[in-house]
Amino acid sequence: MTSAKKSGADSKQAIVIGAGIVGICSALALQEKGFHVSVIDRDGPAEGASYGNSGVISPWSCVPQSLPGLWKSVPKMLLDRSGPLAIRWSYLPRLTPWLVKFISAGAHRRLPATADAMLAVNRPCVEIYNRLLARTGDEGLVRDCLYLHVYRTPGGANRDDLPWRLSRERGVPIEILTGGEVQEVEPELSPQIKSAVVFKQSCRSVNPGRLGKVLAARAEAQGARFLRETVEKIVPGSGGVTRVDTGQGSHSANTVILAAGAWSARLLAPLGVCVPLEAERGYHLMFKQPGLSLAHSIMDMERHCVTSSMETGLRIGGTAEFAGLDAAPDYRRARVFKTHAKALLPNLNTQSSEQWMGARPSTPDSVPFIGAVPGHPRIFCAFGHGHLGLTGAPMTGRMVAALAAGEPLNMDMTPYALDRFNG
Ligand SMILES: Cc1cc2nc3c(=O)[nH]c(=O)nc-3n(C[C@H](O)[C@H](O)[C@H](O)COP(=O)(O)OP(=O)(O)OC[C@H]3O[C@@H](n4cnc5c(N)ncnc54)[C@H](O)[C@@H]3O)c2cc1C
């Protein structure tokens, strides 16, 4: 057992499991509350989903993945081998309970509460990132931009559609562009694009992996320890001290934050807590010499992928593939993005590219699990951010650190509870 055991008696000692963007933001927020933090990850900081995402930092995101009637389009999507949705058939029996919850989470009556819960986590992201990046010399890693959802039909962007209605009802600053207005905003877009919904006051990271590493370096400079070990077990002990067993030894602390992304449910199950969490695998293709640059993040609403310029090229990412945590990547899913990217950006040079796969930690209702593990008041969860973990990480850190410090949060935490799908 490491010397962390001795310090485990210190009530301000915390272990964060997972050095993705959620774990890193949690570590920084815990430090602000006076905690001494150790972060344990089998890899370096921001090497999981937090490495290869599309970089959208979207304070206005409040529309869940599951919407009424979505299931009607599923068969068509599944039959299209280059489509945005894929399920490995051998995995379907294990996926079914999650799918049932997913469909029921999209019922009309549930949407307002879900949208409010999503907005509360996502809204403060820009302000917190700017503060965390201040004086690092890497402030330019997060840039102001618009977030454009683009369509190939003039009526595609319809402000009365349910997602935009949900957004407008919450004061989200959206605008509709039609015809050449879209290309005036982003000149490289194909003339085939005929309309767009524009989210103003958004941001994008031009290198999500480096953003995570810069913030981890900040936490380390402030005294955090980053340990490269694989966590095998969380063992609640007496006196409120929890032991975390890894392949290399054991560490103990009074406070443990589980932020292991899509792998979190596996570490939770031995504590007798089962949560519906799926690895929703996504892919990206990175064009290293794109020959053009975008000022904004672009969501292609028909092909369901996001394109954004990065420090190291132009990235197009998307796909929801359900195959479990351990299946090998199917990089055909990334290669189809070449066609999608060309259809969006006709002048794009697609010659040199890199492919990547990562696992989104997805809950049925698109709301993360944030809060104490039932029966274990000093073990806190911070996972399940699905499509929006880069966006939701800063506020999640703030929430989990306040809970750990026993400070009032001034917000209703029930929408994030681990047991909300029980019964
Ligand atoms: C293609 C794609 C595009 C996306 N685009 C966006 C976007 O534009 N905007 C946005 O907001 N979000 C986006 N997302 C979602 C976002 O990337 C994720 O929600 C977010 O990265 C999750 O962060 P995390 O820290 O929870 O998980 P991760 O980044 O996956 O980190 C979890 C960490 O836990 C570690 N770990 C797991 N098990 C163990 C163990 N037993 N022992 C030690 N370490 C362990 C892993 O090594 C990993 O480093 C996208 C995702 C994908 C796949």
pLDDT reported for residue 9: 47
pLDDT reported for residue 83: 80
In 10 A of CB 45, how many CB atoms? 27
- Cα 367 to its chain centre, rounded Å, is 10
Sign of the CA dihedral with 13 first, then 17, 19, and 22 last: negative
pLDDT reported for residue 211: 98
For the CA of 306, the nearest atom of ligand 1: 8
Closest CA to 65 of 363, 358, 322: 363
pLDDT reported for residue 3: 38
Ligand 1 residue neighbourhood (C-beta within 6 Å): 18-23, 40-43, 47-50, 53-56, 230-231, 259-263, 267, 282, 284, 306, 317-318, 358, 360-361, 383, 385-391
Query: Distance between CA atoms of 186 and 105, rounded to whole angstroms?
Result: 35
The protein residue whose alpha carbon is closest to atom 19 in ligand 1 is 389
pLDDT reported for residue 10: 63
Residue intervals of the chain classified under CATH 3.50.50.60 are 4-50+210-276+366-416
pLDDT reported for residue 160: 82
For the CA of 58, the nearest atom of ligand 1: 11
Residue 8 has pLDDT above 50, yes or no: no
Q: What is the mean pLDDT of the chain?
A: 94
- Mean per-residue pLDDT, 309-338: 96
Query: Distance between CA atoms of 98 and 312, rounded to whole angstroms?
Result: 36
Query: Distance between CA atoms of 208 and 204, rounded to whole angstroms?
Result: 9
Q: Phi/psi zone of residue 10: left (φ > 0), alpha (ψ -120 to 50 degrees), beta? A: beta
* Residues contacting 328, CB < 8 A, separation 6+: none
Element (H, E) at 298: strand 297-300
For the CA of 384, the nearest atom of ligand 1: 26
pLDDT digits (tens, 9 = 90+) for 199-210: 999 999 999 999
Residue intervals of the chain classified under CATH 3.30.9 are 62-107+277-359
Element (H, E) at 373: strand 369-373
Of all residues in the chain, the percent with pLDDT exceeding 90 is 89
Homologous superfamily assigned to 4-50+210-276+366-416:
FAD/NAD(P)-binding domain (3.50.50.60)
Global pTM reads 0.96
62-107+277-359 has which CATH code?
Answer: 3.30.9
